[in-house]
């Protein structure tokens, strides 16, 4: 049995290192395409200002990219160091997209990264544009493979449990790659990255305009960012996560939690715009509700019923009881692989085996589980409501705010009236962090919303961690957070310094 | 689809290919990082050194990342057991590696000498520590690693970080440190000129000698320690777990594969050839061939160790039957097959565009070049 402190600390470390990593990734995803757009304009028009733009924003891209790589190294190995049982249990499936990411995407992205910076004088104009495009393509391919891996944790398709090796094994590669959850996640996540890159360029350009510096440079950058940003924001909102909502079981419990929907409602369910969820009472103290809206958004129908939290928990309780039978049969099979009665019982209950594992948090030997333990495990089977409820609302609120910002930005660009609206320009500068906040909320919803599972319905989080000590974890968390924070400070310092310098940073004689 | 047993063997080879790819490619970057403060006499010289690898370090580092991913996909047992067991050793490597991307990217972005020197030592740590630790880890494989597996295949590690730093493992650590330093020295000899090049050449010869001595000593030492033998194992062509075998320890067992198939002795012999080639070629001024010699040494030193251990990947000193081998620590038949095709398609592609990138950036890096491009190069 793994000490619950170790599990909690392992989660904390993973959350911290993943979130640090995802400070840098979205900007890479977005800026890389912005560089492609700028350089394409340069190649098509031959105007040197666009080359200057590509090189300057490329410089900021590089400062950001370095820490993306640094923090990314950890991610490739942390499943093994801290989630060893998870790695054993699902490595057969989960490892594949990770390895493919390295071979197919990260190699491409990283090789082109070097040529982007050092190849200006050695490649033809078109050749260099091809390198920049491959760099952007590589970073986006990388995202899709990582999201395929993550989507499998949300909705474990194409795999089955093997009692001999005691793990999940891949049965259908196409199902893994074409997982619908992965597709909606991919669009949602990379588009969020595009928004990040766009608002970054927009905000810094707005600052130049406010200061009346590099005006031509800033206006052109501003225009490209505004157009790219509005396309990105619309993709995030329209094509985003919504399409993934009701397609899988995992999304149902997540949905109920983030909507604070305790009771199953007659279709179509209403949407709580604001509410005060009360975990104790399993109800909302109060709520402002729009009738029908949730049912329409989540099921795209007026008749499909969405289960509430109480109903989901009740169903899960049955599955836990059934899962315990599967685990008991598995124990018998381990001692005597030819026991056909045990095999039959196992086959009958195998779909619920993961739910049986939930009880192991309370009873290491599941045959000793009491009804109270089962009740408690069922309660655990839906995550806490309030954190999900609020982070979802922050994310969505920021999304619509950014849509408004980009509409204004387009307006200013078309009529070329930046100078008349310094207040808006200031707003753009101050909004630069907004996409990051929304993105962190989004990942929180995806990962916290999947609890108590690492792999939904298959492997509980409390079984997934490595057999380490709390001391090990405290040491490594201190190391990661300390090191990353130091590097982040250095990165921010350089970023501010170079952003302030502007395109002058490219000239040989700057300070 | 190949049968399961063949695929298990192929994946043992493919993991070897990735490790060798790492040693050759990321190895010469790390070698440059290790030598940075010792061969570079002033800031411009150190920038020359860094800029020989500036366009390539990031791509090369992916060999390490991909090796991690491939072990996860093909040998999940090994990925889980080794990395959680050798927790602090791996974290040490990761923390050291953190210095590299930021070191390369940030060091020349500010003119302050203190800033630059700090990053130079960061680059040294980020290069030398992983090179040393990888060897130490490899050395401990020969001694066996203290872990056990329970019936649900959960692994428990009972050793400590400090126990890894025993004399034999440290000797292997020095061997791997020298191996990667040699990669760096021969690469620098090829891509720089003047005094710096002369120093790199001298270093290459010296390091080649130390490497061959350490390699020979380690080989001799291995003949004196107990190796591991599989006494019986379930059908290796089927889906099996690591507990379905019996393993014992025997003196000299790490030489069993060489005794059984004497032609394999050619592999360690090639390591000597590689080392001697380096010494001869730097003297003759054939720097590219010296780099080839050093890379040959990488290939054969790694293969020498791999062949000795085969089929063991992670022998357990605490519970020998739980030792992880190429037969029972792998992914399923289906996954190995899928990943085989993925590797078959993408590895040559990676090699092709990496080769192209080196061609585009070929030629010597000079002091002049650094001075002229002060703001745009590392």
CA dihedral A258→A264→A268→A272, nearest 10 degrees, is -40
B323 touching A (Cβ < 8 Å)? no
Percent pLDDT > 90 in chain A is 78
8 Å CB contact of B72 and A91: yes
Residue B247 domain flag: no
CB within 8 A of A510, min separation 6: which ones? A501, A504, B375
8 Å CB contact of A99 and B155: no
* Signed CA dihedral, A372, A374, A375, A379: sign only: positive
B82 touching A (Cβ < 8 Å)? yes
pLDDT in tens, B49-79: 999 999 999 999 999 999 999 999 999 999 9
**CB-CB contact of A324 with A359 (8 Å):** yes
Of residues A254 and B258, the one with the higher pLDDT is B258
Residues of chain B whose pLDDT is less than 70?
none
pLDDT in tens, A437-486: 999 999 999 999 999 999 999 999 999 999 999 999 999 999 999 999 99
Q: Which of residues 6-65 of B touch A (CB under 8 A)?
A: 54-59, 61-62, 64-65
Q: State the CB neighbour count (10 A cutoff) for residue A482.
A: 10
CB within 8 A of A404, min separation 6: which ones? none
pLDDT in tens, A337-365: 889 999 999 999 999 999 999 999 998 89
Residue B140 domain flag: yes
**Rg for chain B (alpha carbons), in Å?**
21
**pLDDT higher than 90, residue A272:** no
Confidence of residue A242 (pLDDT cuts 50, 70, 90): low
Whose CA is closest to A381, among A311, A440, A276, A305?
A311
Whole-number Cα distances in Å, B75 to A205, A373, A491, B192, B241? 49, 36, 36, 40, 12
Chain A residues whose beta carbon lies within 8 Å of the beta carbon of residue B151: 166, 334
Chain A residues whose beta carbon lies within 8 Å of the beta carbon of residue B354: 107, 111
Confidence of residue A1 (pLDDT cuts 50, 70, 90): low
Q: Which of residues 99-118 of A touch B (CB under 8 A)?
A: 99-104, 106-108, 110-111, 113-115, 117-118
pLDDT in tens, A297-342: 777 777 778 888 999 999 999 999 999 999 999 999 988 888 999 9
Residue B322 domain flag: no
8 Å CB contact of A164 and B77: no
* Residue A2 Cα, gap to closest chain B Cα (Å): 10
b or e along A104-115 (b: 16 or more beta carbons within 10 Å of the residue's beta carbon)? Answer: bbbbbbbbbbbb
CATH number at residue B272: 1.20.1630
B371 touching A (Cβ < 8 Å)? no
| From A72, A88, A106, residue closest to B76, measured CB to CB | A88
Sort A290 into a burial class: Cβ within 10 Å, 0-12 / 13-18 / 19+. Answer: exposed
How many domains does chain B divide into? 1
pLDDT at A510: 47
pLDDT at A241: 61
* Residue B47 Cα, gap to closest chain A Cα (Å): 14
Residue B258 domain flag: no
**Rg for chain A (alpha carbons), in Å?**
25
Residue B277 domain flag: yes
**pLDDT higher than 90, residue A180:** no
| From A81, A167, A466, residue closest to B91, measured CB to CB | A81
DSSP 8-state class, residue A267: S
Cis? peptide before A371, omega within 30° of 0? no
pLDDT at A3: 82
Pairs of CB atoms within 8 A across A/B:
249
Q: Which of residues 33-92 of A touch B (CB under 8 A)?
A: 62-63, 65-67, 69-70, 72-74, 76-77, 79-82, 84-88, 90-92
Q: Angle A470-501/A4-45 helices, nearest 10 degrees?
A: 20
Chain B residues whose beta carbon lies within 8 Å of the beta carbon of residue A85: 80, 154
Question: Residue A466's closest chain B neighbor by CA?
Answer: B84
Q: State which residues form the domain around B194.
A: 4-223+267-304+331-372
Of residues B200 and A247, the one with the higher pLDDT is B200
Residue B153 domain flag: yes
* Residue B342 Cα, gap to closest chain A Cα (Å): 7
CB within 8 A of B115, min separation 6: which ones? B107
Confidence of residue A245 (pLDDT cuts 50, 70, 90): low
**B108/B35 Cα distance (integer angstroms):** 18
**CB-CB contact of A62 with A132 (8 Å):** no
Residue B181 domain flag: yes
Residue B142 domain flag: yes
**pLDDT higher than 60, residue A277:** yes
Helices (H), B231-286: 256-260, 266-284
Cis? peptide before B338, omega within 30° of 0? no
């Amino acid at each position: 049995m793994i000490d619950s402190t170790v599990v909690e600390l392992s989660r904390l470390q993973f959350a911290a290192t993943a979130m640090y990593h995802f400070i840098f990734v979205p900007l890479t995803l977005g800026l890389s395409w912005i560089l492609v757009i700028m350089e394409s304009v340069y190649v098509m028009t031959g105007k040197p200002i666009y080359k200057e733009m590509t090189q300057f924003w490329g410089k900021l891209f590089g400062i950001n990219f370095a820490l993306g790589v640094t923090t990314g190294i950890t991610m490739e190995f942390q499943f093994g160091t801290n989630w060893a049982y998870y790695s054993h249990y699902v490595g057969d499936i989960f490892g594949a997209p990770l390895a493919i990411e390295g071979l197919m995407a990260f190699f491409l992205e990283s090789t082109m990264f070097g040529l982007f910076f050092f190849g200006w004088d050695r490649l033809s104009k078109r050749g260099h544009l091809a390198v920049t495009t491959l760099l952007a393509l590589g970073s986006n391919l990388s995202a899709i493979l990582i999201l395929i891996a993550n989507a499998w944790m949300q909705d474990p398709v194409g795999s089955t449990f093997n009692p001999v090796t005691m793990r999940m094994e891949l049965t259908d590669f196409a199902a893994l790659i074409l997982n619908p959850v992965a597709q909606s996640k991919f669009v949602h996540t990379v588009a969020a990255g595009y928004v990040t890159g766009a608002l970054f360029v927009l905000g810094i350009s707005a600052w130049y305009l406010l200061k009346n510096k590099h005006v031509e440079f800033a206006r052109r950058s501003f225009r490209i960012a505004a157009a790219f940003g509005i396309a990105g924001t619309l993709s995030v909102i329209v094509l985003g996560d919504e399409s993934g909502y009701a397609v899988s079981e995992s999304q149902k419990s997540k949905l109920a939690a983030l909507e604070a929907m305790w009771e199953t409602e007659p279709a179509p369910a209403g949407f709580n715009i604001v509410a005060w969820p009360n975990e104790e009472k399993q109800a909302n103290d109060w709520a402002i509700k729009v009738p029908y809206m949730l049912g329409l958004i989540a099921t795209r129908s007026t008749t499909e019923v969405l289960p509430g939290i109480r109903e989901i928990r009740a169903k899960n309780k049955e599955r836990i009881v059934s899962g315990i039978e599967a685990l008991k049969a598995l124990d018998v099979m381990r001692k005597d692989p030819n026991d056909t009665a045990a095999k039959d019982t196992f086959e009958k209950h195998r779909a619920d085996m993961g739910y049986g594992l939930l009880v192991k948090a309370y009873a290491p030997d599941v045959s000793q589980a009491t009804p109270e333990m089962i009740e408690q495990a069922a309660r655990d089977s839906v995550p806490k409501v309030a954190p999900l409820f609020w982070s979802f609302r922050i994310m969505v609120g920021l999304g619509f705010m950014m849509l408004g910002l980009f509409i204004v930005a387009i307006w200013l660009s078309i009529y070329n009236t930046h100078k008349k609206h310094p207040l808006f320009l200031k707003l753009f500068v101050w909004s630069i962090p907004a996409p990051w906040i929304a993105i962190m909320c989004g990942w929180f919803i995806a990962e916290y919303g999947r609890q108590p599972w690492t792999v939904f319905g298959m492997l509980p989080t409390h079984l997934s961690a490595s057999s380490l000590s709390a001391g090990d974890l405290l040491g490594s968390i201190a190391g990661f957070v300390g090191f990353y924070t130091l590097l982040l400070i250095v990165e921010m310092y350089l970023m501010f310094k170079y952003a302030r310098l502007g395109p002058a940073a490219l000239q040989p004689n700057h300070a | 689809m190949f049968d399961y047993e063949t695929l298990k063997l192929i994946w043992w080879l493919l993991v070897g290919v990735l490790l060798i790819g790492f040693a050759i490619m990321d190895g010469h970057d790390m070698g440059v990082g290790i030598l940075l403060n010792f061969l570079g006499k002033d800031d411009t010289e150190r920038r020359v050194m860094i800029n020989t690898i500036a366009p390539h370090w990031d791509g090369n580092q992916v060999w390490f990342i991909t090796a991690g991913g491939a072990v996860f996909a093909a040998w999940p047992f090994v990925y889980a057991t080794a990395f959680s067991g050798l927790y602090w050793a791996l974290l040490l490597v990761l923390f050291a590696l953190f210095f590299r991307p930021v070191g390369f990217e940030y060091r020349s972005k500010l003119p302050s000498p203190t800033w630059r020197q700090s990053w130079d030592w960061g680059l040294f740590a980020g290069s030398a520590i992983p090179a040393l630790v990888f060897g130490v880890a490899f050395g401990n494989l020969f001694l066996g690693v203290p872990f056990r597996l329970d019936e649900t295949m959960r692994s428990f590690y009972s050793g400590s970080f400090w126990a890894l730093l025993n004399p034999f493992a440290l000797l292997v650590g020095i061997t791997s440190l020298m191996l990667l330093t040699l990669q760096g020295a021969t690469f620098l000899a090829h891509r720089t000129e003047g005094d710096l090049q002369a120093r790199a050449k001298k270093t290459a010869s010296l390091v080649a000698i130390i490497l061959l001595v350490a390699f020979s000593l380690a080989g001799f030492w291995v003949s004196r320690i107990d190796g591991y033998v599989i006494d019986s194992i379930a059908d290796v062509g089927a889906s099996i777990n690591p507990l379905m075998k019996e393993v014992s320890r025997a003196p000299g067992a790490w030489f069993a594969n060489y005794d059984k198939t004497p032609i394999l002795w050619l592999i360690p012999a090639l390591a000597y050839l590689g080392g001697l080639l380096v010494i001869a070629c730097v003297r003759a001024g054939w720097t590219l061939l010296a780099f080839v010699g050093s890379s040959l040494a990488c290939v054969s030193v790694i293969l020498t160790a791999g062949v000795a251990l085969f089929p063991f990947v992670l022998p357990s000193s605490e519970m020998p039957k739980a030792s992880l081998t190429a037969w029972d620590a792998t992914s399923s038949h289906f996954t190995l097959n899928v990943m085989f095709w993925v590797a078959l398609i993408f590895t040559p592609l990676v090699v092709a565009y990496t080769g192209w990138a080196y061609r585009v950036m070929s030629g010597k890096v000079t002091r002049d070049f650094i001075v002229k491009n002060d703001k745009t190069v590392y």
